[in-house]
Amino acid sequence: MKLSELSTETGVSTASLKYYLRESLLAPGEPVTRTQSEYGPAHVERVRLIRALVESGGLSLAQVRRVIDALDSPTVPRHELLGVAQEALMDSERFEADADWTAVATEFVERRGWRIEDGEVLLPQLGAQLKALADTCDVGGRDTVERWADAAEIVAASDLDTLTEDDAQALRTAIVGTVLSDKVLQTLRRLAQQNRTAQLYEAAKRSDQ
């Protein structure tokens, strides 16, 4: 198919496709003339992946590049799959590390028995997030965070259960699945909040009768 047909097939403008080609996010097509190339199913799949990561996953093109580089890299040992996924998806948002709150975060994960590598950047990030919560709103203290962590363990177990025996497919699932499921989890949380609010309202209404 021509570039215009690839655009129609994927719903991505030709201008965007040309940008992906210039930035090597998309592999060149097969040249047929000096000015035209042919594109195939692999290009359709890659463009749809980029679109999903940007539109549904909310990633920047810089993050998309890291994801694609990881997907196109040699086979990764299975025990390192999620580590590679997390590195590729590392949040570019800046945060100010706080030594005291990093210690709080470290103590929290150690108390739960989580096996986390020394120097893991997610620990100061968690510390900064907990500090922001403590500084701005009351979320119920440690018990609430413990319950969040309980839910996170269930999600993490589900994530690992989705990995197939095929290493390349498992890496794709680990990375792309993490990006897109983050948004699904966010939406499910909001829906569950609405449901829980309705349940509490109905319970209060019945008790007043």
Tens digit of pLDDT at every position of the chain (209 positions): 999 999 999 999 999 999 999 988 999 999 988 888 999 999 999 999 899 888 888 888 888 888 888 777 766 666 666 666 676 666 655 678 899 999 999 999 999 999 998 888 889 999 999 999 888 887 767 789 999 999 999 998 888 888 777 777 777 777 777 778 888 899 999 999 999 999 998 888 888 77
On whether both 48 and 88 belong to a single domain, the answer is: no
On whether both 93 and 184 belong to a single domain, the answer is: yes
Q: What is the pLDDT of residue 131?
A: 92
Put simply, whether the predicted model's pTM sits higher than 0.95 gets the answer: no
On whether both 138 and 185 belong to a single domain, the answer is: yes
Which residue bears the tokens 């309705």? 198
Q: Per this entry, what is the length of the chain?
A: 209
Domains identified in the chain, total number: 2
On whether both 40 and 83 belong to a single domain, the answer is: no
* Structural domain boundaries enclosing 146: 77-208
Residue 64 lies in a domain: no
Q: What is the CATH number of the domain that holds 41?
A: 1.10.1660.10
Cβ(123)–Cβ(102) below 8 Å: yes
